[in-house]
Structure 1
Amino acid sequence: MLSAEDMPTPGSAMIGFIPFPPHRASFYREAGYWAGQPLDEILRSSARRWPDHPAVIDDAEHFTYAELDQRADAAAAGLLSLGIGAGDCVLVQLPNSCQFAVALFGLLRTGALPVLCLPGHRDAELAHFLDVCDATAIIVGTDPGGFDYRAMAERLLQRPNRLRHVIVDGEAGSHISWSQVCAGEGQPPRLRPDSSGPAVLLVSGGTTGAPKLIPRTHDDYVYNATASAALCRLTSDDVYLVALPAGHNFPLACPGLLGAMSAGATVVFGRDPSPEAAFATIARHGVTVTALVPALARLWAQACEWEEQIPSTLRVLQVGGAKLAADDARHIRSVLTPGLQQVFGMAEGLLNYTRLDDPPELIDNTQGRPLAEDDELRIVDEAGDEVPEGEPGELLVRGPYTINGYFRAEAENQRSFTLDGFYRSGDTVRRMANGYLEVTGRVKDVILRGGETVSALDLESHLLTHPRISAAAAVGLPDPYLGEKICAAVVFRGAPVGMTELNEHLDARGVAVHCRPDMVAPMPALPTTAVGKIDKRSIVAQLQP
């Protein structure tokens, strides 16, 4: 008979979660993809194997694996004393720091469900997440750049929702201090969550509207992280730099923080990804692996021409989040590291990697092949029929670490998943005879700005609330640094609105910083197609030189 400590911990977080179908779940277990291991076991296991090895480092503090394990227990005890536990959802919006790791594992040990928000999210996105998941608490940090996350959390607290606790890593004011929570006493109960249930909620980039919540299970996310770590040949001798926001799937589990920890590697948190700051961090800690979006990778490569201190220890540089041009790939390999790895994936699941021993032509010209042998891919035309090999089409996928539905998003799930469980990625790709993919475009109306996926529809809905805007279309224009910049093609009522006033309007609406236009293009009218839809291709053609 199971003791109370070993009992599974179902909770309200299971409501609105779509599990893997039983026959597929059984197959993934029997095939060895799923080990029935809680996500939290990554830290517990590493603390047993490498107790005195450096686990996490930032500019202010550092913990060994044993120390991080102890701090996660203390945080869990403190959270439980506030009544935060199994079935609760908790928004986490912390900067890259050791405390991000403490909060993540502390929450996992309470049975709560961390909702991993990004630093650029503002009132609009966080209010939406609260409405979807009924979060009872939010953990925020402070921003040396000046944005007041505590004030934003206070505004959220005034809304009609279940939010009860605002926890602040920094000056807490009238709210709860994170350091006080982390001083919790006593050993938290050893929970045994259902490994087929959700472990964390990631945030989608937004494709057809507001961002969705992505439920990653213990089973699929442990595989996601550990298989990625094995593919990247991570060992306890490696040092992984978290250069992108830690709540992103890419630096979190591909292999990221979790994969690095599963191998006993040291994780360094960086808050400034600029070449000057990042290169100094790489040299100081002997960083061997990191992950960047193409815009940053290009900038790092260019900076090698003027920075006195350039990376010399990088073994693997992963680039993903958008397609990397072949010329850029060749330049990066020549000046930063020959160990370039292209990554094409999605927070919803599927990951494609070029392999470390692939020939240069594959690394430069493709976005890799699937992580798992049992990733099932379909590449289809507009009618849903599979296209011939080598022809472009929309990528559909299901597999041992791809979700079966967004969290509490019934309407979106009907659009995004086929009846037999394939996720419609919205990306168009070409599959080669060797199984490698080349990304050719996308179907969904999104803009890929600096590695962030921005929903054109969501931005347009915000723009249209301005009293002097009668029509708006958000489009992506090529940009050598961002990949795409956001252009708002706008029909004004009367005199045009300047960028300053427009951004003040979007700021007042709580729109995320990375979702705001980089430029505004006044137009007398928006062009339309034969069926009356806004013709965005025509807009882009007009705006490009």
Structure 2
Amino acid sequence: MESASPQLSQLSLISRARSFGERTALLAPEGTFTYNDLLRESGITATALLTGRDDLAGERICYLVPPGWEYTVVQWGIWRAGGLGVPLAISHPEAELAWVLEDAQPEAVIVHPSLAERLQDLTRDRQIPLLMTPALLRDAPTAELPAVEETRPALMLYTSGTTGKPKGVVLTHANLSAQVEALSDAWAWNEDDHILLHLPLHHVHGIVNVLTSALWNGATCEILPRFRAVDVWERLARCEVTLYMAVPTVYRRLIDQWYLVNSEAREAWRQGAQACRLMVSGSAALPVPTLESWEEITGHRLLERYGMTEIGMGLSNPLEGERRSGFVGGPLPGVEARLVSEDGIEVPEGSAGTIQIRGPGVFKEYWHRTKETAEAFTSDGWFRTGDRAVVEDGAWRILGRNSVDILKTGGEKISSLEIEDILRSHPAVTDCAVVGVPDPEWGDRVCAAVVLRTGEVTSKEALRNFVKERLAPYKVPKDVLVLSELPRNAMGKVTKPAVLDLFSAENTE
């Protein structure tokens, strides 16, 4: 049985959960579960992972588990055993999963039986133990668990960078606690909150902003197995949800769905949305038409914020007060933010600069990338985000990224270089350039211009399918343009703004 001894863990998240006892923690596809249930089951999982050892001591444990109760238990079990959790994306194809396994070098991989087939060959070839969730979660005694310090690594999330291949961002328990405390303060989380979750659980947005923030505060997190606009509206219509967070693309789809139903359903949906105390949009810029349409339908002016994997959330519009369209407010509690010139000199209000962030929520390191980690920080500890912004009348407005090779589509940050590498491996392709064409729904619409080898013939759909087999769905180009040559400057470098112009010209013809 679960002991109340503080020696079982020094993690704030766990000690707080003990005080919430029989309150409902999760409403999941598997059922309804209390905080005591979560503590008991995660203790059993932690014991199974330890296999007689005292402490996992930071060993990486990857997990591919659908959103729900078992996902949460596995994540907490890894943390309580002293491990570093590495969530795998259920939307990713074999090639992307293989990359994470190669890079993370995990001690073991945990998988739900419904997804086991996707990992069996990958783990067998690498001689990595594959653990099934039913075996880990079966009823068994709980051993004494290690005292896990807040300074230890907790979570490794993979994010795209300018080098192409995704890299592991290592966050400590202290980082996660700082991020959650900042959001709890700024957005007034409390134990009576009830939040709906359908965001992917391999990103900060879903893991930290929603799931962990709810469980930190003794609130209820209701997890949907997937996003369907009708399901979200019907769930909101019960007037039980107090908080809702999504990306701009999701809000756009909810708006589109609202216009497809009759007036009776619209009114029920509207009242359900109005019962929420706060609705948040993030992970991509919120188009003004979406902001205005949502406010017209629900009465809610969406709270827009700014963050990234390495920092969690850095800036936020106020819970109370003016939320200006196109702006993301100011620094969250405990977060320092500044804008600097190319020379690293802080710029005054009204001048554009690159965002730098400092604070306890900023990540520890890029996994096994000492040089990249060092280059990401200034000598006095400021993290270089690579995003540009300007402060106008005290509010921050995001201008975009310094790198043309980083795209944001549907809330996902991706590297054009990674997609280009895949396209160039196609036998018919000699060169290519991937760009993000501005799109009101997606933010950046991923598009690829390709040059075929002499005498080779292939279709645009064949090229898209080639990428789809190797990369996540959101990385697949939505449009492909075949060219005789790519536009280049005098030095021979591809000029991506000119490639963008080609797609813009095609769309106006």
Structure 2 counterpart of 1:498, one-letter code: S
Aligned partner of residue 403 in structure 1, secondary structure: coil
**Where do residues 125-524 of structure 1 align in structure 2 (5 Å cutoff)?**
125-141=96-112, 149-160=115-126, 163-167=127-131, 177-254=132-209, 256-284=210-238, 286-307=240-261, 308=265, 309-310=268-269, 311-312=272-273, 313-338=275-300, 340-349=302-311, 350-360=313-323, 362=324, 364-373=325-334, 375-434=335-394, 436-444=395-403, 445-493=405-453, 494-508=455-469, 510-524=470-484
Structure 2 counterpart of 1:517, one-letter code: P
Question: Equivalents in 2 of 1:82, 1:123: separation in Å?
Answer: 32
Shift of residue 97, structure 1, vs aligned partner: 0.8
Question: Equivalents in 2 of 1:429, 1:501: separation in Å?
Answer: 39
Question: Equivalents in 2 of 1:82, 1:280: separation in Å?
Answer: 47
> Structure 1's 73 and 476: CA in aligned 2 closer, same or farther, altered over 3 A?
same
Q: Do the aligned residues in 2 keep the contact of 1:319 with 1:341 (CA within 8 Å)?
A: yes
Structure 2 counterpart of 1:283, one-letter code: A
The TM-score normalised by the length of structure 1 is: 0.84
Aligned partner of residue 385 in structure 1, secondary structure: coil
Shift of residue 468, structure 1, vs aligned partner: 0.7
Q: Do the aligned residues in 2 keep the contact of 1:379 with 1:387 (CA within 8 Å)?
A: yes
Among all aligned residue pairs of Structure 1 and Structure 2, give the percentage whose two residues are the same amino acid. 27
Question: Equivalents in 1 of 2:465, 2:290: separation in Å?
Answer: 36
Question: Equivalents in 2 of 1:507, 1:541: separation in Å?
Answer: 25
Structure 2 counterpart of 1:476, one-letter code: G
Structure 1 counterpart of 2:224, one-letter code: G
Q: Do the aligned residues in 2 keep the contact of 1:43 with 1:261 (CA within 8 Å)?
A: no
Q: Do the aligned residues in 2 keep the contact of 1:238 with 1:265 (CA within 8 Å)?
A: yes
**Where do residues 113-124 of structure 1 align in structure 2 (5 Å cutoff)?**
113-124=84-95
1:71 aligns to 2:41 (yes or no) = yes
Question: Equivalents in 2 of 1:289, 1:7: separation in Å?
Answer: 34
Question: Equivalents in 2 of 1:184, 1:166: separation in Å?
Answer: 20
Q: Do the aligned residues in 2 keep the contact of 1:7 with 1:193 (CA within 8 Å)?
A: no
Match of 1:29 in 2: none
> Structure 1's 50 and 283: CA in aligned 2 closer, same or farther, altered over 3 A?
farther
Question: Equivalents in 1 of 2:196, 2:14: separation in Å?
Answer: 18
> Structure 1's 530 and 7: CA in aligned 2 closer, same or farther, altered over 3 A?
farther
Shift of residue 301, structure 1, vs aligned partner: 2.6
Aligned partner of residue 365 in structure 1, secondary structure: coil
Match of 1:94 in 2: 65
Aligned partner of residue 426 in structure 2, secondary structure: coil
Question: Equivalents in 1 of 2:177, 2:189: separation in Å?
Answer: 15
Q: Alignment RMSD, CA only?
A: 2.4
Question: Equivalents in 1 of 2:116, 2:79: separation in Å?
Answer: 23
User: Which structure 1 residue ranges, 5 or more long, are not aligned?
Assistant: 10-36, 144-148, 168-176
> Structure 1's 496 and 294: CA in aligned 2 closer, same or farther, altered over 3 A?
farther
Shift of residue 541, structure 1, vs aligned partner: 1.1
Q: Do the aligned residues in 2 keep the contact of 1:315 with 1:337 (CA within 8 Å)?
A: no
Match of 1:15 in 2: none
Shift of residue 55, structure 1, vs aligned partner: 0.7
Question: Equivalents in 1 of 2:300, 2:162: separation in Å?
Answer: 34
Match of 2:31 in 1: 61
Q: Do the aligned residues in 2 keep the contact of 1:398 with 1:423 (CA within 8 Å)?
A: yes
The TM-score normalised by the length of structure 2 is: 0.90
Deviation readout 1:146-193 (Å, 9 max, x if unpaired):
xxx423312212434xx52213xxxxxxxxx31121115222323212
Question: Equivalents in 2 of 1:192, 1:305: separation in Å?
Answer: 53
Deviation readout 1:343-369 (Å, 9 max, x if unpaired):
110110152111111224x2x231121
Q: Do the aligned residues in 1 keep the contact of 2:113 with 2:133 (CA within 8 Å)?
A: no
Structure 1 counterpart of 2:400, one-letter code: G
Shift of residue 414, structure 1, vs aligned partner: 4.2
Shift of residue 246, structure 1, vs aligned partner: 2.2
Count of matched residue positions in the alignment of Structure 1 and Structure 2: 489
Higher mean alpha-carbon deviation, 452-461 vs 402-411, is at 402-411
Shift of residue 454, structure 1, vs aligned partner: 1.0
Aligned partner of residue 497 in structure 1, secondary structure: coil
Shift of residue 212, structure 1, vs aligned partner: 1.2
Shift of residue 495, structure 1, vs aligned partner: 4.2
1:536 aligns to 2:496 (yes or no) = yes
Q: Do the aligned residues in 2 keep the contact of 1:323 with 1:367 (CA within 8 Å)?
A: no
Q: Do the aligned residues in 2 keep the contact of 1:116 with 1:201 (CA within 8 Å)?
A: yes
Question: Equivalents in 1 of 2:429, 2:8: separation in Å?
Answer: 53
Question: Equivalents in 2 of 1:64, 1:248: separation in Å?
Answer: 24
Deviation readout 1:92-138 (Å, 9 max, x if unpaired):
22221111111111111111110122222233333222233220211
Question: Equivalents in 2 of 1:85, 1:353: separation in Å?
Answer: 36
> Structure 1's 8 and 348: CA in aligned 2 closer, same or farther, altered over 3 A?
farther
Question: Equivalents in 2 of 1:188, 1:8: separation in Å?
Answer: 9
Shift of residue 297, structure 1, vs aligned partner: 1.4
Structure 2 counterpart of 1:80, one-letter code: L
Structure 2 counterpart of 1:57, one-letter code: L
Shift of residue 65, structure 1, vs aligned partner: 1.2
Question: Equivalents in 2 of 1:188, 1:231: separation in Å?
Answer: 38
Aligned partner of residue 208 in structure 1, secondary structure: coil
Question: Equivalents in 1 of 2:371, 2:480: separation in Å?
Answer: 32
Question: Equivalents in 1 of 2:32, 2:180: separation in Å?
Answer: 22
Aligned partner of residue 237 in structure 2, secondary structure: helix
Question: Equivalents in 2 of 1:451, 1:217: separation in Å?
Answer: 24
Structure 2 counterpart of 1:359, one-letter code: E
Question: Equivalents in 2 of 1:281, 1:194: separation in Å?
Answer: 38
Match of 1:17 in 2: none
> Structure 1's 322 and 352: CA in aligned 2 closer, same or farther, altered over 3 A?
same
Question: Equivalents in 2 of 1:70, 1:6: separation in Å?
Answer: 15
Aligned partner of residue 138 in structure 1, secondary structure: strand
Q: Do the aligned residues in 2 keep the contact of 1:43 with 1:65 (CA within 8 Å)?
A: no
Shift of residue 139, structure 1, vs aligned partner: 2.0
Question: Equivalents in 2 of 1:335, 1:97: separation in Å?
Answer: 30
Aligned partner of residue 321 in structure 1, secondary structure: coil
Q: Do the aligned residues in 2 keep the contact of 1:120 with 1:514 (CA within 8 Å)?
A: no
Q: Do the aligned residues in 2 keep the contact of 1:317 with 1:337 (CA within 8 Å)?
A: no
Deviation readout 1:457-480 (Å, 9 max, x if unpaired):
111111111111011111011223
